[in-house]
Amino acid sequence: MTSTSYLGTAAVTIQFDLNRSIDGAANDVQAAINAASGQLPKTLPSPPTYRKVNPADSPIMLLSATSDTLPLTTVSDAVDAQLAQQISQISGVAQVVIGGQQKPSVRVQIDPAKLVAKGLSLEDVRAAINIATVDSPKGNIDGATRAYTIYANDQLLTADPWNDVIIAYRNGGP
């Protein structure tokens, strides 16, 4: 058993004996997830899921998406929101991995005098930016043999929506 953690996600890889039925192992993993669910933080954005994967399987298809007219961020969004979602629903597809994406970035200029005058800190600004940029799964659909994760790219991609981000509440108001 090995585990890896990333910002906002963690993965546990469990390898079973080759003689073990993959369906039996999957049932045991689901039972363990169910048994541990009461001990997990209540703030998890979605319940833990699992999938059956044979590590000896090699990728059987590599795709590339480019455009001479669209920005790379638009192509990345289309691949993420449409292409990957459709491919992942094909029977027999265990995993869809998207590499080389380009995500827009945000640059924030802070006026320290205004920040102090309002009783705010850089940590308040960091926390507000973090909340406004969370792009986590919106939920799951659990089928009899597969689980699907619902994603929606609802990031703030232009400057205007940032004008409405509330940094903190003081005295009952923003």
Using pLDDT thresholds of 50, 70 and 90, give the confidence band for residue 39. Answer: confident
Using pLDDT thresholds of 50, 70 and 90, give the confidence band for residue 40. Answer: confident
Q: What is the mean pLDDT of residues 11-20?
A: 85
Q: Spell out where the chain has E strands.
A: 2-6, 9-13, 139-142, 147-150
On whether both 63 and 73 belong to a single domain, the answer is: yes
Please give the model's pTM, rounded to 2 decimal places: 0.40
**Burial of 92 per CB tally in 10 Å (0-12, 13-18, 19+):** exposed
Q: What is residue 36's three-state secondary structure?
A: helix
8 Å CB contact between 142 and 91: no
On whether both 108 and 174 belong to a single domain, the answer is: yes
Q: What is the mean pLDDT of residues 25-40?
A: 87
On whether both 19 and 66 belong to a single domain, the answer is: no
Q: Please state, in angstroms and as integers, the Cα–Cα distance from residue 62 to each residue in 97, 130, 166, following that order.
A: 10, 33, 42
CB-side neighbour CA atoms (13 Å) of 161: 9
Q: How many domains does the chain have?
A: 3
Q: Which two tokens stand for residue 42?
A: 């209540």
Residue ranges making up the domain that contains 65: 58-101
On whether both 46 and 110 belong to a single domain, the answer is: no
